[in-house]
Structure 1
Amino acid sequence: MTEDIIREKLEFLKPIQFHLKNESELHRGHRGNNGGEHFNLYIVSELFENKNIMERHRLIYEALEGLIPGTIHALSLKTISPKEL
């Protein structure tokens, strides 16, 4: 299951909070959808401290390399450090 793979690949971030929602059903039949899944990820990690949004997103995209594009068609990210809660 793709959700399990994503969770596994992002374990290195030691998330304090991790909410992953598959929103693929909302996008069925949209132009340009190659069959990959759509996800919304909310993640809180101490490893995001002192990193800007681009650096945080880069950590995630690098960890999910090989899944995007393809298995994952779209990924919406909300990356938070504990101090931002």
Structure 2
Amino acid sequence: MDENQIRSKLKALDPVHLEIEDFSDGCGKKFKLLVVSDAFDKKPLLERHRMVNTALVEEMPHIHALTMKTLTPEQWKNSKSLDC
């Protein structure tokens, strides 16, 4: 499992920004995601995470740990402005 495989599958969510970090010492089993997409607009957090999990359904058996932050573009813009 590598970042490119995950990136390819998450294109289904049409992200405006996507960060993928492999924190598994190179074995491709643990990932952190930041997914910014209009598809998350008016969706609760649980539904957003389900959308990501659905996009990665074929990869999930190979992933040991997945941490994700799912934001709308507006939320991302506001969170970046707080990072002084």
CA–CA distance in 2 between the matches of 1:77 and 1:19?
10
After TM superposition, the structure 1 = structure 2 runs for residues 50-65 of structure 1, keeping only pairs within 5 Å, are 50-65=42-57
1:83 maps to which residue? 74
After TM superposition, the structure 1 = structure 2 runs for residues 18-57 of structure 1, keeping only pairs within 5 Å, are 18-25=18-25, 37-57=29-49
Cα 1:3–1:51 shift into 2, 3 Å: same
1:17-66, Cα deviation, whole Å (9 max, x unpaired): 100000002xx9xxxxxx76100001100000000110000001111112
TM-score by length of 1: 0.80
In structure 2, what residue type is equivalent to 1:75?
L
Deviating above 4 A after TM superposition, structure 1's stretches of 4 or more consecutive aligned residues are none
CA–CA distance in 1 between the matches of 2:6 and 2:75?
23
Kindly, what percent of the aligned residue pairs are identical?
A: 39
* Secondary structure, aligned partner of 1:24: coil
Structure 2 residues without counterparts, runs of 5 or longer:
77-84
Number of paired residues?
Answer: 76
TM-score by length of 2: 0.81
Structure 1 residues without counterparts, runs of 5 or longer:
29-34
CA–CA distance in 2 between the matches of 1:47 and 1:36?
27
* Secondary structure, aligned partner of 1:10: helix
1:17 maps to which residue? 17
CA RMSD in angstroms comes to 1.8
